[in-house]
């Protein structure tokens, strides 16, 4: 099966995760794709194929060499983002993109334009897979699944390419931050792995944010406004004070590269009670701790003013995988050289977010992130250049080959 057909087949299967669900997987429909991929893995002859009750699928491509080669792994995720519908995805291919606007949905006037998305112009002349303007595409991360499965089929069909045991895994609920929750690192039994979950062709990432969430509860004191002097404590105004005390220039819309931020993601309430939610991000661990301290001190400052009516729940979410990957930088070097070998210019850059690989790295499985090729994830303007899809699969094959040659 051609990799494009494989991706389109996966993209049509709705696997949207649900952040409000407490079960794993968060949506049972993720099993629909998992069972299809399980079937394909068995048909192509992979071994140790297992799909567990939490929707984690693992399999092995057995080594075709007697040499002692490290066991490596490749990982992608089944689910698509809750940000936009993943139902009734209807991909289409724009042949030899000419640089002009792409009409995604004429009835709803949805246009994919280089004026809004300049990265389109990096792919003039290439075939692009786009949406019909009503849903996301799902290249995050069904492109990754297609690339891994295509690479396994290629290695089976080309036994002249020497490789060791290769482990593959596909996980649920990455988009809601739970992709590594039930990942069995011991069962996976790889020395290191790569998530195929990056974006633009050439991306190679082994640094991500340190991440925390902050949930603030504010208990006001509501009395009739006509008789409120000296009595009322308006929870909404206290929430506004909290927001104003944090540095405005350190919001996501003002930061880039290695710069961290405080991101207000929720604000609700009444005079009597309010809730404020933040996420806190920074690549530097010391700066990350300083940001958490500032949040704590800000709440304490307001508590001193408002009779201890404010609560703070501060929770670490994940850490910068750089701490775990730097001691084994050869795993990044293999990916870098593999990209160069297949004609891709590597672009090492920090992730302004997190991946399953970050948590897996701290669970004992060093796990840099490699491009999957898609762009504009999580929305109707998502697109996937076909050459990028193919190159990502070639990189997987080349990594396996390099590791075996240098064993």
Catalytic residues: 79, 174
Strands laid side by side in the 261-269 sheet: 261-269, 273-282, 210-219, 310-318
End-to-end distance of the chain based on CA atoms, in angstroms?
31
Listing DSSP states for 144-173 in one string gives HHHHHHHHHHHHHH-TTS----EEEEEES-
Cα atoms found within 13 Å of the Cα of residue 277, Cβ hemisphere only: 6
Count CB atoms within 10 A of the CB of residue 230: 6
Residue 365 is given by DSSP the state: -
Are the C-beta atoms of residues 172 and 25 closer than 8 Å to each other? yes
Task: Round to whole Å and give the CA distance between 224 and 379.
Answer: 45
**CA 14 to centroid of chain Cα atoms:** 17
**CA distance to 214, 273, 277, 319, per residue, from 280 (Å):** 7, 23, 10, 12
Task: Label residue 246 exposed, middle or buried (CB < 10 Å: 0-12, 13-18, 19+).
Answer: middle
| Residue whose tokens read 């990028």 | 388
Count CB atoms within 10 A of the CB of residue 124: 13
Cα atoms found within 13 Å of the Cα of residue 346, Cβ hemisphere only: 20
| Residue whose tokens read 């003002």 | 254
**CA 215 to centroid of chain Cα atoms:** 23
Task: Round to whole Å and give the CA distance between 255 and 191.
Answer: 35
Task: Round to whole Å and give the CA distance between 267 and 213.
Answer: 14
Measured on CA atoms in the order 111, 113, 116, 119, is the torsion positive or negative? positive
Task: Round to whole Å and give the CA distance between 211 and 177.
Answer: 11
């Amino acid at each position: 099966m051609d990799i494009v057909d494989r991706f389109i087949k996966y993209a049509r299967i709705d696997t949207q995760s649900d952040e409000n669900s407490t079960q794993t997987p968060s949506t049972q429909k993720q099993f629909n794709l998992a069972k299809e991929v399980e079937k394909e893995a068995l048909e192509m002859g992979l071994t140790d194929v297992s799909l567990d009750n939490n929707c984690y699928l693992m399999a092995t491509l057995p080594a075709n060499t007697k040499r002692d080669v490290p066991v490596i792994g490749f990982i992608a995720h089944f689910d698509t983002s809750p940000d936009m519908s993943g139902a009734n995805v209807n991909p289409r291919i724009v042949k030899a993109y000419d640089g002009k606007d792409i009409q995604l949905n004429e009835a709803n006037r949805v246009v994919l334009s280089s004026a809004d998305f300049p990265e389109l112009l990096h792919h003039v002349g290439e075939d692009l897979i786009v949406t019909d303007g009503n849903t996301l595409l799902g290249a995050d991360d069904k492109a990754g699944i297609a690339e891994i499965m295509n690479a396994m089929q290629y290695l089976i069909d080309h036994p002249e390419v020497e490789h060791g045991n290769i482990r593959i895994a596909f996980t649920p609920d990455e988009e809601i931050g739970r992709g590594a929750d039930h990942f069995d690192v011991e069962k996976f039994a790889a020395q290191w792995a790569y998530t195929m979950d990056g974006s633009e062709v050439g991306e190679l990432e082994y640094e991500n944010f340190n991440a925390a969430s902050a949930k603030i509860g504010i208990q006001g004191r509501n009395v009739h406004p006509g008789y409120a002097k000296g009595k009322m404590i308006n929870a909404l105004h206290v929430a506004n004070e909290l927001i104003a005390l944090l540095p405005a220039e350190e919001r996501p819309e003002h930061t880039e590269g290695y710069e961290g931020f405080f991101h207000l993601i929720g604000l609700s309430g009444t005079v009597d009670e309010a809730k404020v939610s933040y996420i806190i991000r920074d690549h530097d661990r010391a700066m990350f701790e300083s940001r958490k301290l500032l949040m704590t001190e800000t709440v304490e400052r307001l508590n001193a003013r408002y009779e201890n009516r404010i609560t703070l729940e501060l929770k670490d979410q994940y850490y910068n995988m750089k701490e775990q990957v730097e001691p084994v930088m050869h795993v990044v070097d293999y990916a870098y050289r593999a990209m160069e070998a297949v004609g891709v210019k590597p672009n090492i850059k920090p992730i302004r977010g997190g991946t399953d690989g970050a948590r897996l790295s701290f669970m004992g499985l060093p796990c840099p992130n490699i491009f999957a090729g898609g762009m504009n994830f999580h929305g109707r303007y998502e697109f996937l250049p076909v050459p990028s899809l193919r190159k990502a699969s070639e990189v997987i094959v080349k990594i396996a080959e390099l590791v075996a040659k240098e064993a």
